[in-house]
Structure 1
Amino acid sequence: MSWYEDWFNQDEYELVYHRRDEREAEQVVDLIEQLAQPAPGSEILDVGCGRGRHARVLARRGYRVTGIDVAERALQIAQARAAAEGLSNVRFVRHDMRNPFCQACFDGVVNLFTAFGFFEEDADHFRAIRAMATALRPGGWLVQDFLNADYVQRYLVPRDQEQRSGIEVIQERWIENGRVNKRIRLRRDGQEQIFYESVRLLRLEDFQQLYRAAGLTLEATRGDYAGGPFTPDSPRLILYARKTAA
């Protein structure tokens, strides 16, 4: 099992990322609407949707949303939360982002909170971008939210720890072979669980190359969820692209 299927299925995932809340998701969707200006009722594919934090915000705003992910437990949680809100315009499907979900059936695609860069082979990253492009109708839009590799390298915190709900959370980070890696240690009642993350440090020029090969045109970048410009010191690399209309 890949690290992302293992870790993203754990209930403790939300404990570690407790700061990534509904308020942040609302801000991200505000930015998506500013960049893409989706038509009311647009059909949107959320690739790597996880527990559906962004998909549910999009659905609340009237879009028809499909969230895909490989983490089955995360999808179950997403579906339960959408049902609890009475959201009938969102669905969640287990699917590998490297494989096309459909052909020309969505107005927009989102890929958020660094739900990318996981794969060992760069060819798989291209497969995933191509699958996103394939899902778009001609002229459709893509918003992709990734880490800023320069920022990560400059400000990497090698280690931190905190107590959350009786659990000691220790995070250790390092950069190796063009990837940023994290070891997550969760200690409770004398027991320890260990999980890992590993993300390829893709840069703007890497995405530009991937987009061109997939028939996408990069139209804008942003450096944070407030819509600030992208610079080497930006915490995020947010990309807005369009599929060739022909």
Structure 2
Amino acid sequence: MSKNTTTWFTSWFDTPFYHILYKDRDHTEAHKFMDALTSYLNLPETGTILDLACGKGRHSLYLNTLGYDVTGVDLSENSIAYAKQFENHRLKFDVHDMCKPYHKQFDAVFNLFTSFGYFDKNEDNLNTIKAIKSDLNEFGFGVIDFMNSEFVIDNLVPEEQKTVDNIVFNLKRYVEDGYVIKDIAFAHEGENYNYQERVRAFTLKDFELLFEQANVHLLDVFGDYKLRKFNPKTSERLVMIFK
């Protein structure tokens, strides 16, 4: 039997296999990024942060330990159900569609780890930035941490096999119709699974156009988690600060 789905971000993120495949993500690097970012933004000591598309809440949890009042939201009901076990009076999780404004304003809205550009309709990408703007208070900052598409495409590994928890994941990566695509195939307990990740290969210029349309102002652009200067050819990340 084969299970196949390509409406990918509403299904793949809700599977346990997504979290198995990416279980080795670097928490130390993520923590240092949050340290650098909150310090750079000079957020109030007990400031409020919306972690938009938070997954299981790894960034939210750490930001909360730094003293911030954090709300983590994600479309994945399973991820939010998992994250809710860590809630406290200054850490909350909620199922929410990031295309729509949340019912509260914050000192900062963080959209981290390339959690943007999933949508087929460009208006949904624009609506997400408009929603971020409406979720910011008068002094708030928006942050989008995206892949540097040019660098990613130049360094794409077309095929890779990765074994995690005795599951052999076969990965194929390619660029098609302006998307960076990853096909993920594996077998588990006698069933074959096929999933796909599709992310729009947005460049800084593409974001600048979206920001202009959403009437937000780009303040700074960084190229990595140490907040070093962005270089379109060599930077691994595209970290944008706006308001």
TM-score range, shorter chain: over 0.9
1:10 and 2:29 aligned: no
SS in 1 for 2:217: strand
1:140 is aligned to: 140
Q: Is the 8 A contact 1:148 1:236 kept in 2?
A: yes
2:219 is aligned to: 219
1:54 and 2:59 aligned: yes
Q: CA deviation at 1:220?
A: 1.0
Equivalent-residue separation in structure 2 for 1:191 and 1:225 (angstroms): 39
SS in 2 for 1:216: coil
- Which AA in structure 2 matches 1:38? L
1:67 is aligned to: 72
Q: For 1:60-99, list aligned pairs within 5 A.
A: 60-80=65-85, 82-83=86-87, 87-99=88-100
Question: 1:192-215, CA deviations, whole angstroms, 9 ceiling, x for partnerless residues?
Answer: 211110000111111112222323
2:173 is aligned to: 173
Unaligned runs of 5+ in 2: none
- Which AA in structure 2 matches 1:65? V
Q: Is the 8 A contact 1:35 1:240 kept in 2?
A: no
1:239 and 2:240 aligned: yes
Q: CA deviation at 1:189?
A: 4.8
1:25 and 2:30 aligned: yes
Equivalent-residue separation in structure 1 for 2:154 and 2:60 (angstroms): 32
Q: TM-score, normalised by structure 2?
A: 0.93
1:210 and 2:221 aligned: no
Across the aligned residues of Structure 1 and Structure 2, the Cα RMSD in angstroms comes to 1.5
Q: TM-score, normalised by structure 1?
A: 0.91
1:229 and 2:210 aligned: no
- Which AA in structure 2 matches 1:46? D
Q: Is the 8 A contact 1:144 1:240 kept in 2?
A: yes
1:200 and 2:200 aligned: yes
Higher alpha-carbon deviation: 209-218 or 105-114: 209-218
Q: CA deviation at 1:139?
A: 2.7
Unaligned runs of 5+ in 1: none
- How many residues align structurally? 237
1:34 is aligned to: 39
Question: 1:177-235, CA deviations, whole angstroms, 9 ceiling, x for partnerless residues?
Answer: 00001111122354321111000011111111222232321111111112222112111
